[in-house]
Amino acid sequence: MPDQKEFDVKIAVYGASGYTGRLVIAELARRDIDVVLAGRSPERLGEAAVEAGAPYAEVRRAELDDTATLAGALRDCDAMINCAGPFIASGAAVVRAAIAAGCHYVDISGEQLYLKQIFDTFAVPATDAGVTIVPGVNDDGLPSDLIAHLTAQRVEPVEELVIALDLTRSGAAPSRGTLRSALANIDAFTDGGLGYRDGEWHPNVAARRTSMTFPGSSEPTPVARFPLPGVVTVPRHVPARQVDGFAKADLMTAFSAVTPDLLASVPDGPSEQSRRATRWTIVAEALGRDGRWARGAVSGPDTYGTTATIAVESARRLVADGAEPGVLAPAQAYDATAVLEFLTRHGARWSVEIHDGHPAEV
């Protein structure tokens, strides 16, 4: 059943003709939220709107390299969702336009270096403009940030916080957009990305884990350092001495092997049937300085569908509930428990438990 009609919210989408962008349009249409599609090709945007079930969507032409034109395309919009990756190449220009337009902003990026760039570059301009920017609201960025926040609260102050991803694709290949972003950030996948130590982010930090036991498994699984968005966002609201991201080792191997030839060979995105057969799981383990530790876990189906749901709800909440201006991590912008409970209505599950002993012993 569709959610309650929201007449008072108008949300713009940039990058709407891409695979995930079309899912975002469909989610906005399902929720009867007024939508504006901005981009350089009105024809492609119109086709995407019809395909996604929103033929009524307003289309506005906007060139990425023209801040004034792009900001003008966001006129009278309450918030925008940026779906156009690789974000490291173009995301900053869209953020700049959103700030100029006074339009709240979220995006679906999972690119660590881009996320750090947005926090470092736009915190003051966004605050001065009264605009809230929340990058990285995708299937792992937002859930990992929220579950890490709730897990760390149980054992503060935190010595070490680990976030780990388990992704079961059931034969479904990533979308072309996902692989394009991976290729643009290939160095982060080959070296494991950033780690956080005593107030600073560093590349090439030593891995303190080689295996983890994921929910539903009785045996440890090999893991490798992985450039998860939470490594950039979580230290902004969790006072931990160190934060690291991991994923199952085979997932790290797969992303490290992305090539232009592979990118050219894959379809635009997985079929709906194969997409719905995927499942994502995120584990957060926080070790307190008193020796206690807590484990949080959140999981759900359909990575791309979940990303669309998260992006729309994140933008809507910025308008309906408000948040402090500036560049914020998800747990700074939203009530972590409320959003995770919202996701349970879409097939997610989450929990947090406290344990004794060191998490590496489990």
Same domain, 58 and 155: no
Structural domain of 157: 141-302+338-361
Same domain for 222 and 97: no
Residue 73 lies in a domain: yes
On whether both 73 and 114 belong to a single domain, the answer is yes
Q: Mark whether 200 and 226 lie in a shared domain.
A: yes
The answer to whether residue 4 sits within a structural domain is no
The answer to whether residue 5 is domain-embedded is: no
Looking at the fold, whether 221 and 161 belong to one and the same domain comes out as yes
The answer to whether 132 touches 104, Cβ cutoff 8 Å, is: yes
Nearest to 229 by CA among 311, 330, 152, 325: 330
Regarding whether 325 and 265 lie in a shared domain, the answer is no
Q: Are 248 and 165 in contact (CB under 8 A)?
A: yes
Segments of the chain scoring below 70 in pLDDT: 1-7, 169-172, 357-362
List C-alpha distances in Å: 215 to 52, 156, 219, 227, 312.
Answer: 35, 23, 10, 21, 28
Residue 244 one-letter amino acid: D
In a domain, 115, yes or no: yes
Global pTM value: 0.95
CB burial of 84-123 (b: ≥16 within 10 Å; e: otherwise) equals: bbbbbebbebbbbbbbbbebbbbbbbbbbbbbbbbbeebe
104 lies in the same domain as 147: no
> Is there a cis peptide before residue 260, judged by omega within 30 degrees of 0?
no
pLDDT tens figures, 222-271? 999 999 999 999 999 999 999 999 999 999 999 999 999 988 888 899 88
pLDDT of residue 282: 97
Distance CA 34, CA 24 (A): 12
Q: Check which CATH number belongs to the domain holding 313 and give it.
A: 3.40.50.720
Number of H helices, E strands in the chain: 15, 16
Nearest-5° angle of CA 87, CA 89, CA 91? 45
Question: Which residues, in sequence order, are CB contacts of 205 under 8 Å at separation 6+?
Answer: 192, 194, 195, 197, 225, 244
Instruction: Say if CB 280 and CB 306 are below 8 A apart.
Output: yes
* 111 domain residue, yes or no: yes
pLDDT for residue 165: 95
Of 167, 97, 161, 173, the residue nearest 138 (C-alpha): 167
**Angle between helical axes of 87-101 and 112-129 (0-180°, round to 10):** 10
Do residues 14 and 84 make contact, with C-beta atoms less than 8 angstroms apart? yes
- Are residues 197 and 155 part of one domain? yes
Residues 226 and 314 in one domain: no
Domain count, the chain: 2
**3-class state of residue 230 by DSSP:** helix
Which pair of structure tokens corresponds to residue 156?
């503060």
- Specify if 3 maps to a domain: no
pLDDT of residue 274: 86
Residues 113 and 261 placed together within one structural domain of the fold = no
If asked whether residues 47 and 116 sit together in one domain, one would say yes
φ, ψ dihedrals at 67, nearest 5°: -60, -40
Domain annotation covers residue 357:
yes
CATH number, domain of 154, equals 3.30.360
What is the distance between the alpha carbons of residues 192 and 204, in angstroms, rounded to a whole number? 7
The predicted pLDDT at position 172 comes to: 62
pLDDT at 360: 54
If asked whether residues 89 and 155 sit together in one domain, one would say no
Looking at the domain assignment, is residue 233 inside a domain? yes
